[in-house]
Amino acid sequence: MDKAVCSRLNSYIDRLSILYPRQYWFSTGHSTDLALVNIQDLITNAIDSNKHAVDIVYDLAKAFDTGDHNLLIRKMEYYGIRGITLKWFKDYLANRQQQVRCNGAVSTLRPIK
């Protein structure tokens, strides 16, 4: 079910051109790898043009638990997702929890806001 909804939502977003062209998350044909390549290209071009390059630091510690689900629902409604479909997303996002497993270690189960 998740894959079917994701496919339909991606089609809708692509058809309406809702996302910024350099949006790498939740964007068809884009990935975090592509974002890193883009940043590397920008820095390389700046150096090649004798311009200043800025040091970039990533803090991914809270990357997966900082999204505001209420804001997401409001934005979905703004972009035309309403009725049963919006209710499905509200129900899907309600009372979610996450846990991370890495190299055999497992984090505690935490609620997602």
| Domain presence at residue 52 | no
Q: What is the mean pLDDT of the chain?
A: 82
Q: Is residue 55's pLDDT more than 80? A: no
| Full domain range(s) for residue 89 | 62-113
| Domain presence at residue 16 | no
Are 24 and 31 contacting, i.e. CB atoms less than 8 angstroms apart? Answer: yes
Place 113 in a pLDDT band, splitting at 50, 70 and 90: low
| Domain presence at residue 12 | no
| Domain presence at residue 85 | yes
| Domain presence at residue 50 | no
| Domain presence at residue 22 | no
Q: Is residue 3's pLDDT more than 80? A: yes
Q: Name residue 46's amino acid.
A: A
| Domain presence at residue 113 | yes
Number of independent structural domains in the chain: 1
Helix (H, G, I), strand (E, B) or coil at 58: coil
Q: What percentage of the chain exceeds 70 in pLDDT?
A: 81
Are 57 and 70 contacting, i.e. CB atoms less than 8 angstroms apart? Answer: no
| Domain presence at residue 81 | yes
Q: How far apart are the first and last CA of the chain?
A: 22
Are 25 and 13 contacting, i.e. CB atoms less than 8 angstroms apart? Answer: no
